[in-house]
Amino acid sequence: MPHTIKIDLLKPDKNTVEIISQLITKGKTFVYPTETFYAIGALYNDETSINKIFDIKGRDLNNPLPLIIPDISFLKKTCTEVSTNAHKLASQFWPGPLTLVLKAAENLCSAITTGTGTVACRHSGLDLISTILKNINSSITSTSANISGGENTSNIIKIDKSILDTVDFIIDAGETNGGLPSTIIDVTIEPYKILRKGAIDSSLILDYCSSIT
């Protein structure tokens, strides 16, 4: 099994955060915790590592990969345009388990968009991940740490061994909160469309959208 880095979500050690940050910037693939489940990550602009994730999961090459970004300003690097209302929506619910589908920047890695012209982004509500991403000033992929079609998992010990044996390193933070995955909303169309119900109640999102339009 690859190197496992244990970390306390409530009191992450600064040196450990720095080690993780350095590994990510070297183009490593890794399993890591989110505020809901464990995910598989790689730098958003490292095509080799991203393609490896598709292989690890047995993921359909036409199924785009969502991203976690360090803050809302990073959308300038991943998206070609963000409407005023979409920006307000992000400001209202980020950081947190809300994923926005936006028009992708033209230079975004094709393995991320898979020809869709869009990219799904969110700003994680987990302080550890936000700290790491701000530390490296970059974005990472966020796809569940399972074989495609399998169940999400909130504990390292429940992740398929083939995944744990194939990634470059593992961030073990113990049990995550689990529950529902992030809510996904497409903001490239009017009116906005809920693509997946999740951790943030869809009615709250739609009510807020109604209030800003």
The pLDDT of residue 82 is 92
The span from the CA of 162 to the CA of 147, in Å, is 9
Q: Quote the CA–CA distance of 50 and 203 in Å, as a whole number.
A: 34
Q: Is residue 79 part of a domain?
A: yes
Asked whether residue 168 is domain-assigned, the answer is: yes
Q: Decide: 147 and 166 in contact? Cβ < 8 Å.
A: no
Q: Alpha-carbon distance 117 to 134, whole Å?
A: 26
Q: Provide the domain count of the chain.
A: 1
pLDDT of residue 131: 94
- Asked if residue 21 is part of any domain, the answer here is yes
C-alpha count within 13 angstroms, C-beta hemisphere, residue 81: 7
List the chain residues with pLDDT less than 50.
none
Percent over 70 (pLDDT), the chain: 100
Task: Give a yes or no: residue 209 inside a domain.
Answer: no
Helices (H) and strands (E) in the chain, counts: 8, 12
Q: Which pLDDT belongs to residue 1?
A: 62
| Domain containing residue 61: CATH number | 3.90.870.10
In a domain, 49, yes or no: yes
Q: Tell me how many degrees the CA angle 37-160-114 measures, rounded to the nearest 5.
A: 70
Q: Is residue 208 part of a domain?
A: no
Q: What is the pTM of this model?
A: 0.94
Beta pairing partners, 182:
none
Cα separations in angstroms, 192 against 10, 21, 63: 35, 35, 21
Which residues fall within 8 angstroms of residue 88, CB to CB, at 6 or more apart?
A: 212
Q: Is residue 199 part of a domain?
A: no
- What is the CB neighbour count within 10 angstroms for residue 114? 17
CA distance between the termini of the chain: 51
Q: What pLDDT digit, counting tens, does each position of 59-71 carry?
A: 999 999 999 999 9
Which range marks the domain in which residue 125 is found?
3-83+99-181
Per the CB < 8 A criterion, the answer to whether 28 and 40 are in contact is no
pLDDT of residue 84: 94
pLDDT at 48: 95
Strands (E), 7-156: 30-33, 38-41, 67-68, 79-81, 98-104, 118-122, 140-141, 143-144
90 located within any domain: no
Note the pLDDT of residue 197.
95
